[in-house]
Every structure is written in structure tokens, then in C-alpha cells.
Structure 1
Amino acid sequence: MSRFQVMAVVIALTLILIDGFDVAAMAYAAPVLSREWGIQPAALGFLLSASLFGMAAGSIFLTPLADKIGRRRLTLISLVVISIGMVASVFAGDATQLLVFRIVTGLGVGGMMANLNVLVSEYSSNKRRGSIMGIYTAGYPIGATIGGLVAGPLIPNFGWHSLFAVGAVLTIIMLVVSWIWLPESLDYLFTRRPAGALKRVNNILAKIGRPALDALPAITATGKEQSAIGEILTTPIRFRTFMLWAGYGCLVAAYYFANTWTPKIIAGVTGDNSIGVTTGTIANAGGILGCFVFSALAVRYRARPLLVIALLGSAAAYVVFSMLFTQITLAMVLALFLGMLTTAGIAGFYTVSPEIYSARARATGVGWMIGLGRLVSIVAPILVGYLLAGGWKPENIFVLFAAPLAASALCIVALAFSLKRQTRSTEPVAATLS
């Protein structure tokens, strides 16, 4: 890969790391915030879900703008929005203000993530694209883990505001870096063709060692969006679509419950906020490990069986954690496995989902799967807040969320049976990533 390609990929990877840091900051600040402001569990659930709500809104309303104004420009706009949300969070005076500012932060994150995915894929070489995308998938939990490492010493000494301040500074720095060095998407330049597109394309091609073009290639006709929607909602693809969406939604519900509430639950058991933060950090570190382990195993083994194993292992880990989370040393070890198995499940869904659809419908099918997951990610922490306020014990909630993980595994099994019944006369689907 040329130096220019490496630079583009590194910038995008750094941005996704900071996204993970910014979104996870609320979970690490939650124990101190709930005590200082007297926030009840139900209200805290809304605070923990605020950035996730913003991410869903950003994905729905901001991401489509990239096709009109360019992916680079939307990324810069999203970074400005994130910076505003993080700076404002530092000066929040009550829970309502912080709720609004966290929504703003999530709005920017949601608007940017799809663009980063395209840029990383586009500027990676064919040989290295798979490994780089694996690292990209791990970027979010890496950023969340870094947030925990920073929060541990920072919050006790400087208060919860300091964590948001660090996130704001990092985001603003990357806004400047992206403004100077982040390239535009070649796909956007080829398809939308803004003023000076040929010159900009040739400038990028020169930097990656490719010959210049005399003219932009002719735009070929592609399938219309309705045909993509028709494919994913027509038998037999429709059944596979529903199994994929239901399975991913169940997994994400359990993932975001553990990701947002574990620090608070452990802090409540021990009476020590720093132990809660440490446990959350360990879970995110397990997520990083799980992503790489799944990617390594998927080179040799089929992805779908690996995904089923990860989901069933996650369900078992939740049940065991419910029995032993009051034993802090064991809880920290189990938190590593919780993070490892659930994040491996997410990596697994990203791996198996493209094979369900043809090229023209893949973006719609997989994109809607992720969008549904974000909607579920909003509901899960809020639901847990109400359950705790209603007298549920934390151990019972962990057992409760083991059920959707098992259901998710069953969805993938049903999906596999459906694919096996597919005849050779069926329209070819995308090659598996396993």
C-alpha cells in the first residue's frame, strides 16, 4: 500500500477509536454522576441510551447526505457535531442538559461511521483489505477500552467532566487532521462528479501510484433501490432477512445492556466506582480480543458455525456471570469473556450477512440490519433502568439477557438451513467472507 493509502486508513481508524471513546464516556461517568445528581436508575437508563439514540438518528438522517455532498465533507461536518456535543457535555449543569448533549454527540458519530467504513475499504489494497477491516471492526471497543483506562485515574482526581473534556480535545484534534489530510471517496467522485472531479481523481490516483485518466469512465446502469428492497423482502430471501435482523437485534440488545450497565452494577455491589470502571474496561478489552480471535478462526473455519458457538457461549457466560458477579476477581475474569464472546458475535454477523444478498441488495440488507441494531441498542439500557427501578436484581437481568443470545443462535441455525435448501438455479449470492 502506498503512503497515501496508509495515511487515509490510519485517519479513519483513529476516528473510529475516538467514536468508541466518546460514546463509552457516559458509561464510565455514570456511577459518579448518579451519586452527585441523585439520578434514579430509570433516568440513568435514558442518559446511557442518549448517544445511541443520536447514532440511530445520524445513520438515518445524516448518512444519506454523503451521496450529495461527499463523504469527506460529511465526515468533517459530523466531527464538528461531535465536538460541539462533547464540549457542551463538559459544561452540562443537570441530567436534562447532558441528555441533549449526548444525543448531539451520537448524532455526529452515527453520521460518520458509514463513511469511515467505505473509506477504509476503498483505500485498502485487495491483499490487505480483510485484515484491515478486521482491525477496523475492533476499533470501537479499542476506543471504549482506552476510555476506561483514562477514566480510572482521571475521574477520581478531576471529576467526571474531565473525561468529556479529553474526548472533546481528541475529537477537535482529529477534526483538524481530517480537514488537512482526509481524502475524498473515489466512489463519490466517480458517481456524483462534482466540479473538478477528474482533476481530483487524478490527484488521488497519482498519490497511490496509478496512471491518470483522460476522462472519467461512463456511468453504467445499476439496479434501482426498489429492486434491492424487493430482493430482501421476497421469498426465500425474506425469511433469511428476518432471521438475520432478528438474530442481530437480539445480540445487540444483550451487548448494549452489558456494555452500558456493567460498570454501574459492579460499582453498586462493591461500593467502589473505580472497580466498576475497571470491570467495564476489561469487558471492552475482551471485545477487542474477541474480534481478532473470530477473524483468525474464520480463516480456517466456516463463519456461521463459529458465530453460533460465540452466541451460545455468550448466553452461557451471562448465566455464569449472574451467579458469580459479587465475587469481584471472578467477575473481572468473566467480564473479559462476556466482552470477547459478544463482540465476536458482532464480528460474525458482519462476516456472514453479505452472503445473504446479491451485490445490488447487500448495502440495503446489511445496512438495515445495523440500523435495526441501533434502535434495539437504545431500548435495552432504558429497559434495564426500569427493571432495576422496579426491584429486579442485577443477577436476574443477566439471566434475562441470556435468552435473546440463545434466540440469536437459533436464528443463525435457521438461516443456515435456509441457505442449504437454496438450489443452484437461484440467483448467485455474494461470496462468503468466511
Structure 2
Amino acid sequence: MTINTQRSNRGPAEVLADVRQGRMSRFQITAVSIALLLVILDGFEVGIMAFAAPEIQEQMAISPDVLGYVLSASLFGMAIGSIFLTPLADRFGRRPLTLAMLILIVLGMGLTITAPNAGMLIVWRVLTGLGIGGMMANLNALVAEYSSDARRTTAIAIYAAGYPIGATIAGVVAGPLIPLFGWRSIFIVGTILAAGALLAAWVLLPESLDYLLGRRPTNALNRTNRILDRMHLEQLADLPVEDRVGSGSAENKGAIREVLTPPVLRLTIALWVGYGLLTASYYFANTWIPTILTNASGDPQLGNIMGIGANLGGVLGCFIFAVLATRFSGRTLLYLTLFAAAGAYLLFGLIFSIVPVAVVVGFLLGMLTTAAIAGFYAVAPTIYSARARASGIGWMIGLGRLVSVAAPILVGYILATGMPPERVFIAFAVPLIIAGAAAVSLLIGRRTATMAG
């Protein structure tokens, strides 16, 4: 590789403008691709529980309400990780936090294999969720920061597709593996994959330029210039003091102030409400569909097929959103997708007993809800500046998941009363309608942000 030794007196803002406005280099595409592989791992690690749940319920003789806690355990961990661990990336860096979260995932997955009962299973799933939650929002910020203005929404939508891709792979692997070797076998596979991802990230994952230029950690200039060289951009002669963002507690207070004060506060609340209600609906469907259809039909393979179909629909939805985002506003696509998802939930409840049609609608349901999640991932980075981006996205995802944690648990109690599952799907159309209204509010008086929205 030819080393670019030319240096300029440009400031950080000019460097980042070159990254935002130019074509994406191979280095940028690689950084986004590594993030995509890691979020595929996240989807796999969370998704395997839905496919393992029927056998876990049978072997451990647990009731539907207790199973709801098991299914929600990783979601609770993800919420806590997103709220309390992701903001550490704004202080210590995107790369070190990602590596630390991968270590937590490896530990959580490995210990899940040893769980003797539902109580310990819940504990280790919470630990796994902590790592996943702390990593996902952080990677979302990294993808936004390494993407060009022209391709940011598309890149994030493709990144968001990683989660259902991982969940789909989980279903494909679990289908033949669990009947032969039991539910623990799928967690052995997950542990091996997590360890491999940790090694790959250690070697290939770069630090964020926004972080290096804003936070100025030790050796920031040399680290920045190495990255600029790999992107074939002119190196910096120095980092002007006057451009530096405050450090320590002052910087943290600045991030909190930006997220929680006008004019950004209104947008923050809209993100929290919309994303929270969407993920509550999404995780209810993704965690319960395999078990509901297995119990209703007596055929474990039908539940597995339905779970895979919904996740495949999610993959397609993200890619469709990515393509449409090259021509239309991400914020407009978001609210239209949410209202369409509400219609899909209503339709699924109405035709639940017609199995072939339900499978098709389940595919559509997965496509629309996952596309909407991609929409929130794409819109959120455009609302916050670099110093608050990981915090803003992390809190949106974390608080949204705190709401979503209640969904599988609540559904477990509802189903334990004997209520038909189709009525539950119909009821979940209402939160999606409210989420759509929150997304509409993002278009009203929208703030001109650091990134194009």
C-alpha cells in the first residue's frame, strides 16, 4: 500500500466533511461490513431463544408466564446495556466498547449452556443481553459516522438487516440441530460464533474518526492519520486546540444536555415513543410466533418455518427500505412503514386460523416491522451531533427495549388465561399506529442536524 505522507492544516470539521461528501472508500465499506457481521451475530444470539423455547418449556416443565420471563431476559439485558453501557463509547471510544461487549456475549452464551433451571437461564440471558445492547447502538453510531451523506440511510438500513439475517440463520441451524442434540447445542454454536466475532473485531474493527477528532484520546493524531491514509485522504499536520470538544464530565453533561433539552428534546421523545412501541410489537411476534404456532398446530416444524419466514421477511424489508431511501426521505418512509405494519398485525390476527395465508402474512409482518426498525436506526443519527450520538441512539434503543421487555411477559400471562392468540395480534396493531404518529412528528419542524436526514 502506498503511504500518503502529505499533511495539511485542515481542521477536524473539514476532514469529516471530506468523509461525508466523498465516495465511500474500501476502508469505509469494510468498517460498515464488520459492523454488519457483528449485528448478524446479535440477531443469532437473541433469535436462538425463540427456537429453543418449545423444548426448554417441555424439559424444564415451565408455564407460559415463566417462559415469558425467559424470552424477555435478553431483552432486559439489552435495554440496560443500551442505556448504561453504550454512552461509555462517547467517552472511551467505539472500538474498545465493542470489544468489551463481545467478551460479555461470549461469557453469557457459554454460561447459558450450563443453566440447570429457568432461574439461571434468565440470569445468563440477561448477561448476554447486556453485551448485545451495549454493542448494537454503538455500532449503529459507527456505521453512521463512516458512511457518506449520500449513502448513510441506505448503509444503516442494510446494517439493520443483519439482525433478522442472524435470527434467520438461528432458525435454519436450530431446525435440524435441536431435535438431534437438544436445545443446549444451539448455544454451543452461538458461543463459538461469538468467540470468532471477538477475534475478527479485534483485528479489523477501526475506531471512529468522529470520536478521535472530537474526544482527542491519547495518540489521536497518529491514529487519525493512519485511518486517513487507509481512506486515501490527506493527513493532518496537527489537531487545532480550538476545535476540541470538552472532556471528562463536562463532555458527558454536554451530551446529556443535547439529548434532553429543546429543540432536540421533542425529537428525542418522539424517537423513544415510536421505537419503544415498535420494538414491543416486534419482539412479541418474534419471540412468541414459533411457540404459539407449535402449540396451536402440534407441529414444531410449522412454528420453526413461521419464525424463519418472519425473519426472512425482515431481511427483505431492510433491503427494500435501503433501496427506497436512495430516492425518498428516511423519515417519510418510516411513518408509512409503521402504519403498514399496523395493518399487517391486524390482518394476521384475522386470518390466523388459515395457516397457508398466515405464513404469507407473517412474512409481510416481519418485513414491515424490521424495515421500520431500520428506519429508526437511520433517522436517529441525523438528530444528534457526534459528541451525543452514541448516547442518543443508546438511550433510544435502551428505553425502547425496556418497553419491549414487558411485551413477551405480558403476552405470557395473557395466553395463560386462555385468550386466543389471534386477539393478541389484533391488539398489537394499536401500538404501531401510535408509533406511526410519533414518526410523523419527526417531520414537523425538523431540526437541521449534523448529518443529512
User: Is the TM value for this pair above 0.5?
Assistant: yes
- TM-fit CA distance, 1:291: 1.4
- TM-fit CA distance, 1:173: 0.8
The number of residue pairs the alignment matches comes to: 426
2:178 is the counterpart of 1:155: yes
For residue 335 of structure 2, the aligned residue among 308, 312, 328 is 308
- TM-fit CA distance, 1:268: 0.7
Larger RCO, structures 1/2 (Cα 8 Å, 6+ apart): 2
Of 365-374 and 153-162, more deviation after overlay is shown by 365-374
Distance 1:18 1:240, change over 3 A: closer
For residue 318 of structure 2, the aligned residue among 286, 291, 295 is 291
**Aligned twin of 2:4:** none
**Aligned twin of 1:410:** 437
- TM-fit CA distance, 1:6: 3.7
**Aligned twin of 1:193:** 216
Of 308-317 and 260-269, more deviation after overlay is shown by 308-317
Distance 1:201 1:242, change over 3 A: closer
CA RMSD of aligned residues (A): 2.7
- TM-fit CA distance, 1:41: 0.8
**Aligned twin of 2:401:** 374
Distance 1:202 1:333, change over 3 A: same
Of 255-264 and 231-240, more deviation after overlay is shown by 231-240
Matched residue of 2:235: which SS? coil
Q: Deviations over 1:16-51 (max 9, x none)?
A: 110110011111100111111111111111111111
2:60 is the counterpart of 1:37: yes
Using structure 2 for the length normalisation, give the TM-score. 0.85
Q: Deviations over 1:182-221 (max 9, x none)?
A: 2223333333434333332222222222233332333526
2:359 is the counterpart of 1:332: yes
Flag structure 1 segments of 5+ consecutive residues without an equivalent.
Answer: none
For residue 73 of structure 2, the aligned residue among 50, 73, 93 is 50
For residue 236 of structure 2, the aligned residue among 206, 213, 221 is 213
Q: Deviations over 1:138-164 (max 9, x none)?
A: 111111111111111111111111111
**Aligned twin of 2:18:** none
2:417 is the counterpart of 1:390: yes
Structure 1: distance between partners of 2:262 and 2:322 = 31
**Aligned twin of 2:46:** 23
One-letter amino acid matched to 2:192: V
Structure 2: distance between partners of 1:35 and 1:57 = 29
For residue 97 of structure 2, the aligned residue among 74, 81, 84 is 74
For residue 13 of structure 1, the aligned residue among 30, 33, 36 is 36
Of 75-84 and 59-68, more deviation after overlay is shown by 59-68
Structure 1: distance between partners of 2:230 and 2:186 = 38
- TM-fit CA distance, 1:331: 1.7
**Aligned twin of 1:103:** 126
Structure 2: distance between partners of 1:414 and 1:187 = 28
For residue 258 of structure 1, the aligned residue among 247, 272, 285 is 285
Structure 2: distance between partners of 1:161 and 1:354 = 38
Structure 1: distance between partners of 2:206 and 2:451 = 29
Distance 1:119 1:363, change over 3 A: closer
Alignment of 1:339-354 (within 5 A): 339-353=366-380
2:106 is the counterpart of 1:83: yes
**Aligned twin of 1:400:** 427
**Aligned twin of 1:318:** 345
2:68–2:411 CA contact under 8 A, matched in 1: yes
For residue 305 of structure 2, the aligned residue among 271, 278, 286 is 278
One-letter amino acid matched to 2:64: P
One-letter amino acid matched to 1:324: I
1:232–1:238 CA contact under 8 A, matched in 2: yes
Structure 2: distance between partners of 1:278 and 1:262 = 10
- TM-fit CA distance, 1:129: 3.9
Structure 2: distance between partners of 1:190 and 1:300 = 31
Distance 1:123 1:161, change over 3 A: same
Structure 1: distance between partners of 2:95 and 2:128 = 19
Distance 1:353 1:391, change over 3 A: same
